[in-house]
Amino acid sequence: MSYQDLRFDQQDAAARTGLAQRIVGGEVVVYRQALQAFDLYDLWREATLRGITKSVGKAAADRCLTDGFHRIHEWVSPTKIPELTDAVYAEIDPLASEFLERFMSGAFPDVDNFYYEKKPNVRFHIPYDLAQSFKKEFDEFAKDHGQGKIAAHGPHRDSWLDCPSNGLNLWFAMGRIRPGNGLTIYPEDYEGEYKFQPSGDIADGQKLHKAISFDLHPGDVVMFHTDHVHGSELNRTNETRFAISCRLSIDKPHFPNLHYHHYVNANWHKSAALRPLAELPAMFQPSFVNSLATRARFKLLGEGKPVPAPTAPEIIGTKVGDVIEVALADLPVGEVHGVSAALCVARLSEHEVVALTRRCPHAGGDLANGWVDGDAVVCPWHNLPYSARSGKSACESLPALKRVFCEIRGEKVIIDPKSIIAMDDGSDVAGAYAAAASDGDVQAG
């Protein structure tokens, strides 16, 4: 499954009949220049500029207007990003109802009513190499605002985060966004069953298929079902990603887990008499009552959401003396598999294999659950490629993976965990041996 590009203007309404139902059924749609088509881009751009002016000054806002939001990190310090994001939230929130009513009437002309999450999500992701020194401050922001606002969010379904399972996710590009700093969707995992953590992120040990990312221009919107597995790329580019996302549902929202977020009935909100009651229709269902009772129990008893039983890490192959042997037939081209607690093996082509340390140094994602992309092994949690030859990613602040001897011999792949090999970039092999000495399977020889 890939995605479909739409480039309609407002006169093509008939062609969009049934689009919402198709998206809830699993289609992923990129609507190019949608905000310009419905005369909405300036509404949110001007609100954003007001927030930037109030938080970090008019000069910064003027630079954004002339040079683009994607360069904001060049004149705004990382320490100011949480404050700036809060200020933009304050300007965007009051416009949510007007914005969504106008967008929905244009993009989905056959939809008569819908329920929308009261609060949009403002997402500024500066380059990771700039942000990583301020992890503590960014983590504090996430405690109040949720994951994914100013730092990368791991793979998840929105229902795992107590959102509806029958919703639409509308992800609006407010600045230039390109592969390497944007949204990821895992289309081949749409119907799979996965364990997930209380945080809402996918649990360790869950195998994912290749993610897709998007090349977006200001005003483009990615539209997808909220129960698609999706997340953020770790920003490995030299640009800031600025997007605003909204969740809504065409029918009454269904909450399979906790019923936490407030959803507004759009038609009731249009009525001056019913507006104060517009959140009630989504609340009048058993999930809201059950959620209140569950949250009260958690608070009273000091409990939390259950933690899933750990999944044993995948390990293929057999230890034979000091080496590990893997049947070549068990390693198809393009796949990555674990061969020990510390190592994974990837088959780059018919005749080329590589063995690397299997845990991503960013957040500990298991590369054995990732995939091969060209000459890179990709961490599945934040779509971060590591060169199979140098072990490095595009994020210079992250350490390189260690690489050990690995080759094809006949119908077997032979891996020697003790033989760390030199990297293509001339890395110090002795230093690599010393760094590896603490690993159970990778030992200095």
Across 160-240, the runs of DSSP E, i.e. the strands, are 167-173, 183-185, 221-225, 230-232
Which pLDDT value is given to residue 439? Answer: 44
Residues 346 and 332: their CA atoms lie apart, in Å, by: 9
Of 145-149, 206-210, 422-426, the poorest mean pLDDT is in: 422-426
Query: Has residue 428 got a pLDDT over 70?
Result: no
Query: Has residue 426 got a pLDDT over 90?
Result: no
Q: How far is CA 91 from CA 56, 57, 330, in A?
A: 14, 15, 54
Which CATH fold would you assign to the domain 4-301? Jelly Rolls (2.60.120)
Mean pLDDT of 248-269: 92
Residues 422 and 427: their CA atoms lie apart, in Å, by: 7
Contacts 24+ apart (CB under 8 A), 282-289: 282/115, 282/252, 282/253, 283/259, 285/252, 285/255, 285/259, 287/254, 287/255, 287/256, 287/259, 288/255, 288/259
Using pLDDT thresholds of 50, 70 and 90, give the confidence band for residue 335: very high
Query: Has residue 429 got a pLDDT over 70?
Result: no
Residues 133 and 131: their CA atoms lie apart, in Å, by: 6
Which CATH fold would you assign to the domain 318-436? Rieske Iron-sulfur Protein (2.102.10)
Query: Has residue 11 got a pLDDT over 90?
Result: no
Query: Has residue 172 got a pLDDT over 50?
Result: yes
Mean pLDDT of 387-409: 96
Average pLDDT, the chain: 91
Q: What is the pLDDT of residues 340-353, one digit of tens each?
A: 999 999 999 999 99
Q: What is the pLDDT of residues 105-129, one digit of tens each?
A: 999 999 999 999 999 999 999 999 9
Mean pLDDT of 175-188: 96
Which pLDDT value is given to residue 92? Answer: 97
**Could you tell me if 148 and 201 are in contact, meaning their C-beta atoms sit under 8 angstroms apart?**
no
Query: Has residue 427 got a pLDDT over 60?
Result: no
Token pair belonging to 384:
């971060």
Q: What is the pLDDT of residues 350-391, one digit of tens each?
A: 999 999 999 999 999 999 999 999 999 999 999 999 999 999
Q: What is the pLDDT of residues 84-109, one digit of tens each?
A: 999 999 999 999 999 999 999 999 99
Domain ranges of the chain: 4-301, 318-436
Residues 252 and 273: their CA atoms lie apart, in Å, by: 21
Q: What is the pLDDT of residues 283-299, one digit of tens each?
A: 988 888 888 888 888 88
Using pLDDT thresholds of 50, 70 and 90, give the confidence band for residue 435: very low
Residue 94 contacts by C-beta under 8 Å, 6 or more apart in sequence?
none
Q: How far is CA 42 from CA 49, 100, 250, 404, in A?
A: 10, 14, 26, 53
**Could you tell me if 370 and 378 are in contact, meaning their C-beta atoms sit under 8 angstroms apart?**
yes
Query: Has residue 1 got a pLDDT over 60?
Result: no
Q: What is the pLDDT of residues 18-70, one digit of tens each?
A: 899 999 999 999 999 999 999 999 999 999 999 999 999 999 999 999 999 99
The strand pairing partners of 222, in sequence order, are: 30, 171
Task: Output the CA angle 227-131-67, nearest 5 degrees.
Answer: 90
In degrees and rounded to multiples of 5, residue 323 shows phi and psi of -115, 165
Which pLDDT value is given to residue 437? Answer: 37
Q: How far is CA 102 from CA 36, 43, 58, 266, 436, in A?
A: 12, 11, 29, 11, 57
Q: How far is CA 244 from CA 41, 45, 93, 325, in A?
A: 11, 11, 11, 49
